[in-house]
Amino acid sequence: MKTKQTNSYILPLVIIAIAFFIIGFGVGINGIMIPILEGTFSLSKGMSYLVLTATFSTFLIFGAPSGWIIKKIGYKRSLIAALAIMSGGMFLFIVSALVSSSMTGFYMFLSASFIGGIGNTLLQTAINPYVTICGPIEKAAQRLCVMGIMNQSAWFLGPIFLSLFIDIKNPVIENAGIPFGIAGSVIALLAIIIVFLPLPEVEAAGEEEDADISNGDSELIQIANSKTSIWKFPHLFLGMTALFLYVGVETLPMASVIDFAKSIGVDNPARYSVIGPVGMIVGYAISLSVLQILQQNKALSLFALIALIASFCIVLLPADKAIYCVAGLGFAHSVMWGCLWALTISNLGKYTKTASSMLVISMVGGAAIPLLFGFLLDRIKESDMAVAADFQVVYMLFIPCYLYLLFYATWGYKIGRR
């Protein structure tokens, strides 16, 4: 990518880190809103998980348009627009809380989540390139890990922040006005600040698709450039499936752990939101060393196996012990995002940008998997309230997903490349 010259990368990286934090904060709030909305509107489990569907379905709808917007107005303006849209979604939550006496309030919450999801989609599409251009290319992986730490820190701070204003066990949804007002104002302020900051800009045309990829395999690039269509890459579509499943299983435990903790009967369910993100933060720190030793496919295989072990522990151990195994999933997830992207789009030559846009769309798995989880929970529960054992049965969803990720790490990423 061609960028304007800049003498310092500190300021851009700080802004990007804040943007990653905002993404984590926004999605983390959804985790605590699931049991709050369920109690307020007397929803089924499946209906309550529609909050995540509203947020992540935007990747399917707006993934491709986001790439077009960035090409037209540039990354900096897209970043500002994304933050403005997310701020609007936060403010709409306030309006939703005021009409919580009827189901209209719930549907307005879904609308607010959807609007926030549009901003999240544009933000995700805009800020990831910044991580690679703000500094030496050989240090990009380390910067990604730092950004991941910022993102996961916000996953549990969001629920904790909201729990200061709303009691999960006896929620008064009208109290949501203050926290969402604060969050919306902070995001809007950041958007305004960025207007006046000199951030490095990527040229609107983006990456030259017919150029060799840095550090790539020239033979594979030549093979890729000789193909006549993006549909000639079976491994890409296998990778899209892998990313679809990964985003789903990454989102599900962090979004459902508060609900799971509530079913166990703990005193403060919101504090359990820290388990998954802490595991992932530790994983990010360790993966910096692991990726120096192992190739990306082998690292993905290893961490998929760790996730499988953690999944069986969540399903089989007593609930009060199993909930802590969510940290194992977080740990395993730390390396998966980067490895999946690298294995899927590396050495695709002129098709790199198209493949990247398709992978963004695959993030809709964050909507599909949790929604499936919620409806399955409704089907197996034997009383009005799902008990801990019900959660553990449905958590078996993790197992086939991680088996597929293991398949992709060992064989799938190579299929059809030559």
Please choose, from the candidates 48, 52, 61, the residue with its C-alpha nearest in 3D space to the C-alpha of residue 27: 52
Residue-level pLDDT at 302: 95
Q: Do 343 and 297 contact (CB within 8 A), yes or no?
A: yes
What's the rounded Cα separation, in Å, for the pair 251 and 242? 14
Task: Return averaged pLDDT per consecutive 10 residues of the chain, 418 residues in all.
Answer: 52 82 80 80 84 87 83 84 93 84 85 91 77 58 73 78 79 81 90 83 44 52 67 87 95 88 85 86 85 85 96 96 94 87 76 75 90 92 87 96 96 82
Q: Roughly how many angstroms between the first and final C-alpha of the chain, as a whole number?
A: 26
Give helix then strand counts, H and E, for the chain: 17, 0
pTM to 2 decimal places = 0.78
What's the rounded Cα separation, in Å, for the pair 354 and 343? 15
Residue-level pLDDT at 204: 32
Tokens of 319: 């609930």
Annotation: CATH topology of 212-418: Growth Hormone; Chain: A; (1.20.1250)
Residue-level pLDDT at 99: 79
What's the rounded Cα separation, in Å, for the pair 76 and 130? 10
Q: Do 97 and 176 contact (CB within 8 A), yes or no?
A: yes
4: left (phi over 0), alpha (psi -120 to 50) or beta: beta
| Interaxial angle between packed helices 352-362 and 103-133, expressed in degrees from 0 to 180 and rounded to the nearest 10 | 150
Residue-level pLDDT at 203: 43
Residue-level pLDDT at 209: 46
What is 1-206's CATH number?
A: 1.20.1250.20
Q: Where in the chain is the domain with CATH 1.20.1250.20?
A: 1-206, 212-418
Beta strand ranges found along 273-410 (DSSP E)? none
